[in-house]
Amino acid sequence: MNKTSENTPDLAAMTLGEIAVRLPGATAIFRRYGLDFCCGGGARLHDAVRAPGIALEQIMRELQLLDANAARDYPATAPALIDHILQRYHETHRRELPELILLAKKVERVHAAHPMAPLGLSDALRAMAQELEAHMMKEEIVLFPMMRLGAHPGIAHPIARMRHEHDDHGERLREVEGLYRGGVLPDDACGSWRALYAGVRKLADDLMQHIHLENNVLFPQFATELPTTPLCPGMLTPNERAG
Ligand SMILES: [Fe+2]
Ligand SMILES: [Fe+2]
């Protein structure tokens, strides 16, 4: 589709992040095709679908069936959006990740000899939980309170840092998705194994939507340019503060 008008935008030339914001339901399509709309949200659709096996025309057809005026499942204003992110995503990650780690340890132990056992998954989930916790604390203690006060000249720094850490979460998520083999279960998988993979799939969906809402919806309301001055101490890691 090359047409560019207000009603029929050139979706192929838009970034995945822009499409995800513009079209409710687009994120589910992107997930189905393995397109990264959160950390990789800056890629244009026609560039993002160059991977083998992905058909631009098919994705475009599905996107064009979506209604840009359909209700969104998140609020528009920054304070309400922050509340939504905290309740729907921060609390959910904190509640579900410890259970997933325990479940992964059990499946790895009981099925250690199985050729499809997700060995190493519990360690990867634990590392993800630690990184996420440190990241969410920074948002809750520093960035979100700054945002609740409104626009601030120094806000670009913590936003840039959080975007960088989101990229790290994306790397960790790819590691987790590799270890659980994209959720493909053996025919003889037990209930725990099935529950583990269902939980990891939900975690991945939640984490991508969480990062998408911050990168593509919340952060652009406050800063669009990279900072040029030093980061405030509250956003640094202990090692960075010591150095
Ligand atoms: Fe967050
Ligand atoms: Fe975040």
Residue 27, helix vs strand vs coil: helix
Contact 77, 51 (CB under 8 A): no
Gyration radius (Cα) of the chain, Å: 19
Claim to verify: residue 58 and residue 92 sit in the same structural domain = no
Ligand found nearest the CA of 81: 1
Claim to verify: residue 111 and residue 184 sit in the same structural domain = yes
Is residue 119 included in any domain, yes or no?
yes
CA distance 196 to 202: 10
Residue 199's domain spans which residues?
78-242
Which comes out higher in pLDDT, residue 228 or 46? 46
Q: How confident is the model over 2-59, as pLDDT tens digits? A: 444 445 578 889 999 999 999 999 998 998 888 888 887 788 998 888 766 668 888 9
Claim to verify: residue 218 and residue 138 sit in the same structural domain = yes
Length of the chain: 243
> Which residue from 237, 235, 194, 1 is spatially nearest to 104, judged by alpha carbons?
194
Q: Pull the structure tokens for residue 3.
A: 């047409």
Claim to verify: residue 20 and residue 127 sit in the same structural domain = no
Claim to verify: residue 96 and residue 20 sit in the same structural domain = no
The CA 197 to ligand 2 mean position distance, Å, reads 24
Structural domain count, the chain: 2
CA distance 232 to 161: 10
Q: Pull the structure tokens for residue 27.
A: 């994120």
Q: Kindly report the average pLDDT of the chain as a whole number.
A: 87
The CA 33 to ligand 2 mean position distance, Å, reads 23
Claim to verify: residue 15 and residue 83 sit in the same structural domain = no
Contact 196, 100 (CB under 8 A): yes
Claim to verify: residue 104 and residue 211 sit in the same structural domain = yes
Q: Is it the case that residue 206 has pLDDT exceeding 70? A: yes
Is residue 71 included in any domain, yes or no?
no
Q: Pull the structure tokens for residue 50.
A: 């160059």
The CA 20 to ligand 2 mean position distance, Å, reads 17
Q: Pull the structure tokens for residue 47.
A: 């560039």
The CA 170 to ligand 1 mean position distance, Å, reads 13
166 to 46, 117, 158, 209, 212: CA distances (angstroms): 23, 28, 12, 12, 9
Claim to verify: residue 196 and residue 223 sit in the same structural domain = yes
Claim to verify: residue 50 and residue 161 sit in the same structural domain = no
Is residue 53 included in any domain, yes or no?
yes
- CB burial of 30-67 (b: ≥16 within 10 Å; e: otherwise) equals bbeeebbbbbbbebbbeebbeeeeeeeeebbeebeebe
Claim to verify: residue 57 and residue 176 sit in the same structural domain = no
Q: How confident is the model over 157-198, as pLDDT tens digits? A: 999 999 999 999 999 999 999 999 889 999 999 999 999 999
Query: CATH number of the domain that 60 lies in?
Result: 1.10.3910.10
**pLDDT score at 228:** 46
CA distance 243 to 239: 6
The CA 162 to ligand 2 mean position distance, Å, reads 6
CB-based burial label for 119 (10 Å; 0-12, 13-18, 19+): middle
Claim to verify: residue 210 and residue 104 sit in the same structural domain = yes
Ligand found nearest the CA of 165: 2
